[in-house]
Structure 1
Amino acid sequence: MAGISSYCRTVEDVQTVIQHAKLFEGDLQPLSQVLSFVPRTEAQGKYRFLELDPTLLSNLQRGQSLVFRGTRGENAVLCTHNRTYDVKEAETSNSLLLVPDLRWPAQNVDEAGRMLEEKQDLLENVQASEEELRTELKENLACCINGAWRFLEHEYHFRVLSYILNFVDENSWPIDKINKTETLQSLAALVPMDVLEQCFSWYAEETVTVDKDGETLYRLLEERICRFLAEVLLRQAGKFNLKDFLSSWQQSVPEGMQTTEKYLEGIALMDKNSKPEVIWYFPETDLPEDISERIRILFQTRDKWTLDEIRPYIQRLATEKLNVNALLTKHARASSVSGVRYYSAKHAK
């Protein structure tokens, strides 16, 4: 570089270094280069070496991006467009240097690279790939408003859904023959169109049926609507008489839908041993992400759980390597009572 004088080693200098390094001349390539260190610049401090497995390397070679994510205090993760990997720190005794214009014996090196930057705050801070993040946002009924993701306030969410269900009822449409265009146009004066369209997409899906004008008709999603309306009822009280709740719940859903206790998994708990039987709001989404803390709260709430009861509260934290059974084996104690398998706290008396 300009302003920096080059240092030329003699053959004797090289031989001395080889001896100190305990190497043999015959093991070396017939090419030597002198490295000169210059003052560290801000740009130089931005780069790090990264060793990739064949799959990740192939992704880069196909033009895909790899993004590190995580805020201060969190472990960093590496994300492709659809997968998330933990990043582990490892020590090595060899230092690696990024050297421009380095020549390799009998090898030409083609340099190519590109950097893709994601500007949205969620992508920068959430430890997930873009595809995983979008899927999770959709599954959790997040609404994109003017480019920003928002969760609708519960009462407003209920009001928008009620507009849609009431309009369907007023038109006496079967729950699998909903005209989307007419619904949206009729309700546009009550709800902003971007919110209305997204809310409709959460609770209805296309069918293969078309109306007389050739327009595709939609079907209301029974499980999602039943679950949301169950939450509306359960949020209003503490413990609810189970029989009364089931009756009120069935009356609240559109005609043609059938409620079932299975739709309550992950949002409510029932005690069928009490007199009368009761149910109360207990959403999985309110539990901590840390598996140990989550398990502690679950067994603090209820001493013993069957697998079917506890699965909805563990499933989201399961991985390919640790499924629900493996997580329970690691964090809970199993026992059998009258042929029924129960799980309790690991160190419970």
Structure 2
Amino acid sequence: MDLYSVLEPNQQLTDTKSLKLVELNSEVLQAIEKKAELRLKSATTKDYPVLVTASKTFKIRQKNHSNCVLLLSEHNGAASSYARFSNELVLATTEPTINLHGISILTKLSELTNKNRVSLASVFENSPVSEEEFARLRPELNLVELEGNAYVLHEELVRDCLSSILRAVIEELVESGDEMNIMTRLQKLNKQWVLDVVEKRQDESYPPEIVQTVLAKFTRESDRGLAFLNEKVVRLYGVLLLKTNAEKMKEDDFALNLKLTMPFNYHPDIKLEYLDGNFITENGFIRYFAESDLSENPIERISELFKLKKEWKLEEIEPFVARINTKKIKTDKFLLKYAKVRRVGKQTVVCAKT
């Protein structure tokens, strides 16, 4: 059976069923014992299948064997039987993904359309992901449903909505006498209070679906309340600022301009490391460069990086090689295969081998 195409019947068993031996892990076994729903899913008929529980996704692999025998015994132990098998299915943990094929990018609210309608429910059904993982990943991908149609919100639309939310909340806090404690108060808010304030004060009327998606992405809920994730907020504003400036900027000018783009009275710590994987610095200047633009091939990626800069500090190059470091070993050890890694004073630098 070709596991990575279509699961078809095994003619040796029956014309209607295909039976395979599956090695269950603890999560799937618990789901079966609780009689919870298990589902087979795949992004397309040509992609690999996954098995999903309510909260986790497992890639199904076929493991081949030779001369293997499965021994079976009756419940009372009075009899036993055996069966030969040449392969089994094993479940491997995999990163869940959402299939965004055919989903429109929404840059302005005026661009809502009734064409090619695809609902969030349909996106979920066609994605190799569990229900809980889908709920967690959806806001991270700026995925929202408006008027029955799914869209991916453009980063600039997300930023504008986030700015509107922050301005509304900060204005309310200032009027209530918390002007000197804005950043502290933004770490302990009531979610419903925030939604009410945004509905009352936002300078542009964003649909509640967008507001809630943006809040889900840039805040964290806990027993203490709703807290804005300042690092993620800075990353959004910073990356967009770099993208809109084609020329490189002085690092000090960039930091100042970044502060000016943020809502009044919002003063988070600004650190370049929050933008890791989206910039290159050299001789006091900074410019935009996205890690996602690099090749997935390790050798090609390393070559591309040294074309950008002849020498890298270890902490600078790390965000650009994390994707190809699939075994998650220490970055300096990983890079020894592809580059020269040496100590220069208190720093570790990386350069090409030749």
Q: Is the structural similarity TM-score above 0.5?
A: yes
**Cα 1:261–1:130 shift into 2, 3 Å:** same
Name the residue aligned to 1:181.
195
- TM-score, normalised to structure 1, is 0.63
- Aligned equivalent of 2:32, options 60, 63, 69: 60
Give the CA deviation at 1:291. Answer: 5.0
Q: Equivalents in 1 of 2:140, 2:240: separation in Å?
A: 18
- Aligned equivalent of 2:230, options 222, 225, 229: 222
Structure 2 unpaired stretches of 5+? 1-10, 71-76, 82-119
Percent of paired sites with the same residue: 22
Q: Equivalents in 1 of 2:223, 2:322: separation in Å?
A: 33
Q: How does 1:201-216 map to 2 (within 5 A)?
A: 201-206=216-221
Q: RMSD value over aligned CA atoms? A: 4.0
Name the residue aligned to 1:8.
none
Q: Equivalents in 2 of 1:79, 1:53: separation in Å?
A: 12
Q: Does 1:166 align with 2:167?
A: yes
Task: Confirm or deny: 8 A CA contact 1:306 1:343 kept in the other structure.
Answer: yes
**Cα 1:165–1:306 shift into 2, 3 Å:** same
Give the CA deviation at 1:95. Answer: 11
Name the residue aligned to 2:210.
195
Structure with the larger RCO, 1 or 2 (CA within 8 Å, 6+ apart): 2
Q: Does 1:51 align with 2:52?
A: no
- TM-score, normalised to structure 2, is 0.62
Q: How does 1:1-349 map to 2 (within 5 A)?
A: 41=15, 43-44=16-17, 47-55=18-26, 56-64=28-36, 65=38, 67=40, 69=42, 71=44, 74-80=47-53, 81-85=55-59, 87-90=61-64, 92=66, 106=79, 120-123=121-124, 126-145=127-146, 150-171=151-172, 172=174, 174-175=182-183, 176-177=185-186, 179-186=193-200, 187=202, 190-206=205-221, 218-238=226-246, 239-254=248-263, 255=265, 256-271=267-282, 273=283, 277-287=284-294, 291=298, 294-315=301-322, 321-325=327-331, 328-329=334-335, 332-339=338-345, 340-344=347-351, 348-349=353-354
Give the CA deviation at 1:336. Answer: 0.9
Give the CA deviation at 1:222. Answer: 1.5
Q: Equivalents in 2 of 1:132, 1:290: separation in Å?
A: 28
Name the residue aligned to 1:115.
none
Alignment length (residue pairs) = 279
Q: What SS does the aligned partner of 1:227 have?
A: helix
Deviations 1:121-177 (A, max 9, x none): 555554555544443334344334467653212332222122223323444252425
**Cα 1:95–1:60 shift into 2, 3 Å:** same
